[in-house]
């Protein structure tokens, strides 16, 4: 199980802070910013919770509520890892990468993508790792993860690219690290998906950080 998450977790760091502690009286709105997830530790209830889709539930027992996005405090990292492992082991997610990692066949391909994003991946190569035909793999991947394999690979590469750019790496080096033959090819995909160039994104991100 840990092998399914290891390549994913090695690529990204978690950063966390306490944003509220105490009793909740009345209505409280914890609106997450871009790329921010929320962990809520409920000591006792009842507590009514309404998510962004308008779904309402009541928490009565001591619980941990996890609203994912991103989140480094070492204890937070351990907690998130355990939550992810639990969700995968018990197939508690019905879409996205966690659902893919919960699938024994897809997990082999997804873990390989995570571990080696610079490889020249083909549908045949991914399907071979999953032990499936091209057509069955593509259909099963799309149905389970919610997007085609190629789109997932591009998204993974760009997510990793933003992490590397944030660390100050040169665009040319980042392009090679995430599997693009040239900075130009990398820049075109980055612009198409994110609406800006890697250099502009890097400068903007650096200026936005404290």
Domain ranges of the chain: 17-70, 91-147, 151-208
Residue 82, pLDDT > 60, answer yes
> How many whole angstroms separate alpha carbon 63 and alpha carbon 42?
5
Helices 198-208 & 149-166 angle (0-180, nearest 10): 50
- Compute the average pLDDT of residues 81-91: 60
Predicted TM-score (pTM) of this structure: 0.64
- If one compares 35 and 39, the residue with the highest pLDDT of the two is 39
Instruction: For the domain made up of 151-208, give the CATH fold.
Output: Arc Repressor Mutant, subunit A (1.10.10)
- Give the Cβ contact number of residue 188 at 10 Å: 13
Nearest to residue 145, comparing CAs of 87, 98, 88, 83?
Answer: 98
- Residues 37-54 pLDDT 10s: 666 777 777 888 776 677
Residue ranges of alpha helices (H) inside 14-133 are 74-89, 96-102, 104-115, 123-130
């Amino acid at each position: 199980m840990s092998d399914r998450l290891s390549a994913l977790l090695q690529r990204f760091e978690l950063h966390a802070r306490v944003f509220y502690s105490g009793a909740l009286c009345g209505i409280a709105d914890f609106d997450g910013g871009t790329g921010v997830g929320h962990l809520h530790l409920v000591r006792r209830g009842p507590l009514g919770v309404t998510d962004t889709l308008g779904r309402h539930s009541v928490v009565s027992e001591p619980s941990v509520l996890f609203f994912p996005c991103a989140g480094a405090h070492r204890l937070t990292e351990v907690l998130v890892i355990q939550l992810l492992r639990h969700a995968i082991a018990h197939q508690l997610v019905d879409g996205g990468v966690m659902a893919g990692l919960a699938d024994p066949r897809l997990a082999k391909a997804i873990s390989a993508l995570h571990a080696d994003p610079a490889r020249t991946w083909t549908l045949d190569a991914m399907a071979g790792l999953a032990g499936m035909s091209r057509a069955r793999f593509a259909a099963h991947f799309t149905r389970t993860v919610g997007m085609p394999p190629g789109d997932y690979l591009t998204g993974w590469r760009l997510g990793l690219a933003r992490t590397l750019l944030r660390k100050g790496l040169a665009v040319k080096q980042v392009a090679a690290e995430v599997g693009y033959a040239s900075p130009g090819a990398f820049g075109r995909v980055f612009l198409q998906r994110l609406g800006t160039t890697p250099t502009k994104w890097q400068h903007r991100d650096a200026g936005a950080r404290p």
